[in-house]
Amino acid sequence: MSQPLDAIIIGAGSAGLAALREVRKRTDRVLIVNDGPWGTTCARVGCMPSKMLIEAANAYHRRHAFETFGICGKEGLSVDMPAVLQRVRALRDDFVAGTEKASAVGKQGISGHARLRGPDTVEVDGQTYKARSIIIATGSRPIVPQEWQAFGDRILTTDTLFEQPTLGPRIAVIGLGPLGAELAQALSRLGVEVAAFSTGPSLAGLSDPDIHETLQALLKEEFVVNVGDEARLREVPGGIEVSNGSATVVVDQVLAAMGRRPNIEHLGLDTLGVELDENGKPPVDSRSMQIGSLSVFMAGDADDRRPLLHEASDEGHIAALNAVAAEPQGFRRRTPLSIVFTQPNAAVVGSRWKDLKDGDFVTGSVDFSRQGRARAAQHNHGRLKVYAERETGRILGSEMCAPSGEHMAHLIALAIDRSLTVQDLLRMPFYHPVLEEGLRTALRDAASHLPRVSDSDLSACSAYGASALD
């Protein structure tokens, strides 16, 4: 028998390709196996094509503010949906090509269905390979109830939405998590009649009741939002009837946006000799990505605790380092950061409101309806909250539905990562006029609930043993 490979990577998405890059720095005895299209979920059917659709939708929606700025003639504008979708596909294909070129798997990549035959053996379409380490990065797929299959291609997912030559005039979006909320708003802004249904109480992953209420109210201004019981579908003359008991609509197509399911069935995880949970998933250490004490690692959407591209890339990186190391080690994970590209952006940074303990934290809040730059840009809607430790003032987290929230979320994530306090952040410069001044308002509000450490955002020079800067 030939010498075992150093590593076999199953799956060529964001996690798998990140793992391949790291393994290749240390050995060329690696094989990456992919079942299905090459190119990451993000580039092919996820974050990139959805953002292209969102950009087109927001550009067209901007016409509603034209008259406020003294611009006339919006009545002559219209949407060419086939052209919009064609542009999305063209840009998407370019991103996919770039991803494939950057990865360049070459002879180390093979197409086929991989199945584990133990903690050191992988079978690919009848061919057996041995490896010192195995990395499982098989990704995920959209959740679609089995009974919905009867409606054929009228049931859309992110895997099929962007491939459509055009779209029907009426669409139901089932699920208002991050992707469902984004796409429901984008389709509505492009002129599609949208009815959205959510079975859970939370939209876009938000947990703070005030922030959630703000987003829900803003979305309801643009399309129908039904929150409550599970949506049921049935064939009726003229389309598909969607009902959740309290609301009923008839639509041409249904977009299933109820999350994604890890691709771990039929992978042979039962051959690893470790206990699997009720979903067939083995125990995975989130710091090392190691399964039990085996030289087998799971990364990305296959380990679905943090199904985001930057997390998948980190997990692939960690899995690869440990796959070729003498002893696996744990890594400190990045500050949790989730951004939903509705307008205004919804974001959760660090600790969520629902995970904080009453009495241990203070809250600072800002309403963007009166914020200067937001009013000037006609983006004066939204709300942001920051949470800080009561005793120390250390920033713990934030939830927001705010204009340019994607940028403020990154500032707060940096503050949390560096263990900065409310006062530390208030020491930073805030230019005028910028939307970040709204963040300062929230920080000052939080500071008002903390033990007073200073009467000023600035710190006295003597505290640093330095003279003032000119």
Q: Kindly report, residue by residue over 4-41, the tens digit of the pLDDT.
A: 999 999 999 999 999 999 999 999 999 999 998 877 77
Structure token digits, residue 430: 């805030």
Residue 350 is predicted with a pLDDT of: 98
Residue 422 is predicted with a pLDDT of: 97
Binning pLDDT at 50, 70 and 90, where does residue 1 land?
very low
Residue 137 is predicted with a pLDDT of: 96
Q: What value does the mean pLDDT take over residues 417-425? A: 97
Among 256, 274, 255, 276, smallest CA distance to 265 is for 276
Binning pLDDT at 50, 70 and 90, where does residue 98 land?
confident
Q: What value does the mean pLDDT take over residues 56-78? A: 92
pLDDT tens-digit series, residues 200-222: 778 999 999 999 999 999 999 99
Residue 91 and residue 95: Cα distance in Å, rounded?
6
pLDDT tens-digit series, residues 277-288: 999 999 999 999
Is the pLDDT score of 460 beyond 50? yes
- 8 Å CB contact between 398 and 384: yes
Among 360, 314, 167, smallest CA distance to 255 is for 167
User: Which residues lie across from 130 on neighbouring strands?
Assistant: 121
Higher per-residue pLDDT: 68 or 103 = 68
This prediction's pTM? 0.92
Residue 233 is predicted with a pLDDT of: 96
Within 10 A of 464 (CB to CB), how many other CB atoms are there? 8
Among 426, 420, 354, 412, smallest CA distance to 392 is for 420
Is the pLDDT score of 180 beyond 50? yes
Residue 165 and residue 161: Cα distance in Å, rounded?
9
Q: What value does the mean pLDDT take over residues 101-115? A: 84
